[in-house]
Amino acid sequence: MLNSPRVVNGPRFLKGSRFLKGHGTENDFVILPDPDGVLDLPPALVARLCDRRAGIGADGVLRVVRSAAHPEALPMAAEAEWFMDYRNSDGSVAEMCGNGVRVFARYLVLAGLAKSGDLAVATRAGVRQVHVAADRPGAPGEVTVRMGRAELPGPGSVTVSVGEYDWPALNVNMGNPHAVAFVDDLAQAGNLYAAPSVEPASAYPTGVNVEFVVDRGPRHVAMRVHERGSGETRSCGTGACAVMVAAARRDGADPAVTGQPVTYTVDVPGGRLVITERVDGVVEMTGPAVIVAEGELSADWLES
């Protein structure tokens, strides 16, 4: 169970490789254990793995690599043994994935590569501190991730447009870029398979994740999201954090101003996340992470 990949005919081939499937609030991932960093993942292969009709199906791929074996993670190896090499479903490389970090940590514990409790995960957005709660009867413990501090890089407001609608949005960076728009009805976001228009484009030179948000009650919001490189997903962890930060600023609850931490419940189509911004600016996200399947990639399919 949970074997490392067996590489055949050089690093481009995944013959006999094990994979797992997991999700966090239904934001789902193919997990590829590759501790020695020998696998090559060209964008076309990632897209095939994530194809929901002709592949395994997922919003992205989590490659599990020892930090010491990956050039991007090597500077973080003293802090975090494992590096989350995350790819969007179109094969593009992403800096960070909040739901992905929770699923990644769940895999490490399941595989015996880490223990429940506190652990560190290296990402392209830096090291993230994670706490995997002890399992409860009938349910795995929830996972909390310190997502770092939000940045508001400016401009202070951008404009998001869908069809006949347009809204002002806040530019929030959680290690990856977000545009957060508060709307009257989530249905106004329309079909989010295609990326909404965001202006000025210069605010997001590498593309942007766009969140549409409605209020559900005090410190309680709901959202939909178009994820850069994946389309609409059932959840986005960094997006939920960006939404919480934007809502706190709108509501006059910025912890740096009030001197008090603030917590919001954020409903996503795939479930619920609880997001807290501490007085020191660190944002913490708590939610479920589930491993649902394990298997072996077909050599015939890979060669086709």
Q: Which value, to the nearest 10 degrees, does the dihedral of the CA atoms of residues 231, 237, 243, 246 take?
A: -120
Positive or negative torsion for Cα 25, 31, 35, 41: negative
Asked if 197 contacts 161 with a C-beta cutoff of 8 angstroms, the reply is yes
Backbone φ and ψ for 229, nearest 5 degrees, come out as: 85, -5
Strands 290-296 and 117-123: unpaired
* Helix 237-250 / helix 98-110 crossing angle, nearest 10 deg: 130
236 catalytic? Reply is yes
CA distance 151 to 193: 27
Strands 282-287 and 143-149: antiparallel
- Using left for φ > 0, alpha for ψ between -120 and 50, and beta otherwise, residue 114 falls in beta
97 catalytic? Reply is yes
Which residues on adjacent β-strands are paired with residue 24?
A: 27
- Tokens representing residue 251 in the block: 């509501």
Whether 171 has a binding-site annotation, put simply, is no
**Options 41, 158, 169, 236, the catalytic residue:** 236
Whether 9 has a binding-site annotation, put simply, is no
Note the Cα 8 to chain centre separation in Å: 31
Whether 57 has a binding-site annotation, put simply, is no
Q: Which single residue is written with the structure tokens 């043994």?
A: 81
Whether 144 has a binding-site annotation, put simply, is no
102 class by beta-carbon count within 10 Å (0-12 exposed, 13-18 middle, 19+ buried) = buried
Whether 191 has a binding-site annotation, put simply, is no
Residue 135's SS3 state is: coil
Q: Residue 156: enclosing H or E segment and its boundaries?
A: none
Of 207, 225, 217, 281, nearest to 251 by C-alpha is: 217
Asked if the peptide bond before residue 5 counts as cis, ω within 30 degrees of 0, the response is no
Whether 27 has a binding-site annotation, put simply, is yes
**Options 31, 46, 62, 97, the catalytic residue:** 97
* Active site positions, annotated: 97, 236
Report the binding-site residues: 27, 88, 98-99, 176, 209, 227-228, 237-238
Q: Which residues are annotated as a binding site for substrate?
A: 27, 88, 98-99, 176, 209, 227-228, 237-238
